[in-house]
């Protein structure tokens, strides 16, 4: 029985936006029933041009939906690549530090804590919280920086500078570490750019106006053709039109906690496991 349910779930994947979508489709269905009742009771004969205008609006709506969906996915995919880069830079830093002639001392442990903490701090920062005490490894920290990722990145630079000052590493080693330290800052800045630059409101408003006009007008000309069968047709149209819009709205903000958002906690855990494995020190 469980295997059969899993098979069904693989074919009919659940939509993360199903609650809003189902509520909207129900409202559309009720509206179509009301329109059908009015047309039948009043024996209305609607002009053919109404259907032609609605058809033209549907074509234009399809173009706008394609643009909207593409822009939303590009934002999501760019965010995914940035977090992949963060994982790679974190691993590379740990691998290069592990290869340096450093003593297994407290500074290496602090470096490991900073690498892990930076990923978690960036996750919280993108979700609207810069409280340093929420970051694993910094629970007892008294500092209250306005930008937790930058604070931790600064600590990483201090540790590396101390290694150079005590001549544990040389200038050539700094050249090997610097690109990855800079890469951490680049990821943070790029993620902030995505977060602070939503899809222009004009595109979103124009698409929603077109969708609303189409769904309000479609029942009037479909009722004359299909009768109460128009309820199923309009609901099907509304399901896919609004489904694309709701999904795009969900996908274009990739750093939240919704079903279509990136699994930032899993990415942070990947960085933690890699750092602990690479920089494993005797306790």
Cα–Cα distances (Å) from 115 to 67, 102, 118, 253, in that order, read: 38, 17, 5, 25
Q: What pLDDT is recorded for position 196?
A: 92
Q: What pLDDT is recorded for position 283?
A: 43
Task: Give the C-alpha separation, 88 to 183, whole Å.
Answer: 10
* Stated length of the chain: 283
Q: What pLDDT is recorded for position 12?
A: 66
**Average confidence (pLDDT) per 10 residues, the chain, 283 residues:** 60 77 93 90 73 72 83 94 97 93 83 96 94 90 90 95 90 92 96 90 84 86 81 91 89 89 95 92 51
Beta carbons of 104 and 152 less than 8 angstroms apart? no
Q: What pLDDT is recorded for position 220?
A: 85
Cα–Cα distances (Å) from 237 to 17, 27, 61, 222, in that order, read: 16, 13, 12, 12
Task: Give the C-alpha separation, 277 to 105, whole Å.
Answer: 16
Q: What pLDDT is recorded for position 75?
A: 94
Q: What pLDDT is recorded for position 9?
A: 57
Task: Give the C-alpha separation, 13 to 140, whole Å.
Answer: 43
Beta carbons of 235 and 25 less than 8 angstroms apart? yes
Task: Give the C-alpha separation, 117 to 134, whole Å.
Answer: 10
Q: Look up residue 255 and give its DSSP letter.
A: T
Task: Give the C-alpha separation, 145 to 165, whole Å.
Answer: 26
Q: Is the dihedral of CA 145, 150, 155, 157 positive or negative?
A: negative
Task: Give the C-alpha separation, 200 to 186, whole Å.
Answer: 24
Q: What pLDDT is recorded for position 103?
A: 75
Q: Which pair of tokens denotes residue 19?
A: 């609650």
Beta carbons within 8 Å of 78's beta carbon, 6+ residues apart: 190, 194
Task: Give the C-alpha separation, 154 to 157, whole Å.
Answer: 5
Beta carbons of 85 and 152 less than 8 angstroms apart? no
Query: Please, how many CA atoms are within 13 Å of residue 34, restricted to the half-sphere of its CB?
Result: 8
Q: What pLDDT is recorded for position 183?
A: 96
């Amino acid at each position: 029985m469980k295997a059969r349910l899993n098979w069904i779930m693989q074919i009919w994947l659940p939509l993360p936006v199903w609650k809003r979508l189902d509520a909207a489709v129900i409202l559309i269905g009720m509206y179509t029933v009301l329109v059908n009742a009015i047309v039948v009771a009043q024996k209305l004969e609607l002009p053919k041009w109404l259907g032609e205008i609605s058809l033209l609006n549907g074509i234009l709506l399809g173009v706008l939906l394609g643009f909207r969906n593409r822009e939303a996915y590009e934002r999501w995919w760019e965010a995914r690549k940035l977090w992949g880069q963060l994982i790679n830079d974190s691993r590379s830093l740990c691998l290069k530090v592990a290869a340096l002639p450093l003593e297994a001392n407290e500074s290496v442990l602090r470096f490991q804590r900073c690498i892990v903490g930076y990923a978690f701090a960036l996750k919280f920062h993108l979700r609207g919280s810069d409280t340093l005490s929420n970051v694993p490894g910094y629970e007892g920290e008294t500092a209250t920086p306005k930008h937790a990722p930058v604070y931790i990145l600064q600590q990483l630079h201090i540790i590396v500078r101390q290694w150079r000052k005590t001549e544990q590493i040389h200038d050539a080693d700094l050249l090997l570490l610097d690109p990855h330290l800079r890469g951490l800052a680049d990821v943070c800045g790029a993620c902030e750019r995505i977060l602070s630059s939503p899809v222009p409101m004009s595109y979103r408003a124009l698409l929603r106006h077109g969708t609303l006009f189409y769904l309000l007008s479609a029942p009037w000309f479909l009722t004359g053709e299909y009768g109460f069968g128009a309820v199923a047709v309009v609901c099907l149209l509304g399901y896919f039109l609004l489904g694309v819009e709701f999904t795009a709205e969900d996908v274009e903000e990739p750093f939240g906690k919704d079903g279509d958002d990136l699994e930032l906690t899993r990415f942070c855990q990947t960085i933690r496991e890699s750092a602990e494995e690479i920089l494993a020190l005797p306790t």
